[in-house]
Structure 1
Amino acid sequence: MEREPEAEAAPEVEAQVEAAPDPVLEPAPPPVLEILSSQAGLPFRVDVPESFDLVERPSGPDFDVYQVSRGDTAFVGIYVGCCSPFPIYDGRQTEAAGRFSILINENGANRAVEHLFVRESDGRQIHVWLHSVTGDDRALAERIAQTVDPR
């Protein structure tokens, strides 16, 4: 029996593994906000003070979200759609003027921090709430929220 010649050993090659640089994670883009120039076509109206904007926030398939803002500071949120998360604040619930409101006591003053309207025409809800602003801005946010009126 004939022996096969042994294969020559291949020279060892050191694997050179270059460390891949860590991927640079870009920050998520901010949500697209649209400053509304008109309230026409909205299911509500709101008094927007000078130097404030009514902004449309990213919405879902069966709801829309808006906010009244001054610069980057949100004062009032407005949800229009089915099944709102009302109430988001703990407080005393009252019903008056065709809406449910949540009242809380802040520093000895009663604040209406949240409202819910149910539109008779289509059953959609309009949920209005104050954002986390303080001091004079909190009182201003409350005044703005009080002006929201369903159409």
Structure 2
Amino acid sequence: MARILTYHKIGSHFEFGVSTIRPGVFKKQIRALADLGLRSIPATEAVSKPAVDVVSLTFDDGYACAYEVAAPVMLEVGFRGTIFPVVGAIGGINRWDVRLSFRSIRHLGWAELLELSEAGFEIGSHGMTHCDLTRLDRDRLRWELRKSKAMLED
């Protein structure tokens, strides 16, 4: 299986927790991966590709920093990634971390997702509402998955 690196937020602001990486550190990581001769592949390929010369870069929750910070750095070295937006939060402000970070964190908008897709980034789904999918009954789980998939495909 390929290496899969998952990111959440890339920013210079202070955050409680471990889900934010500073832009300079992100850039160093991407350059190091490129210097190692690795190629980037989408997450859908990474789960089935045993190649050792590939890496999949994924971005959970669909924060705007994937477009504003990550994409330019990655495109510079020919990398692409996979974005997993919370579909119900597209174009909005983060609602689940705000109590911890004391700031509003913007999610990608539809136009930014389209631009990333056109640039070769894969767009997956992180559900509709950022809920714990393992705790849902079958009907609610189907709704989360089907609705988010349908909206992304439109």
Q: Shared fold (TM-score greater than 0.5)?
A: no
Bin of the TM-score, shorter chain as denominator length:
under 0.3
- Relative to its length, the structure with more helix (as a share) is 2
TM-score using structure 1 length: 0.26
- Relative to its length, the structure with more strand (as a share) is 1
TM-score using structure 2 length: 0.25
Structure with higher RCO (Cα < 8 A, 6+ apart):
2
Larger Rg: 1
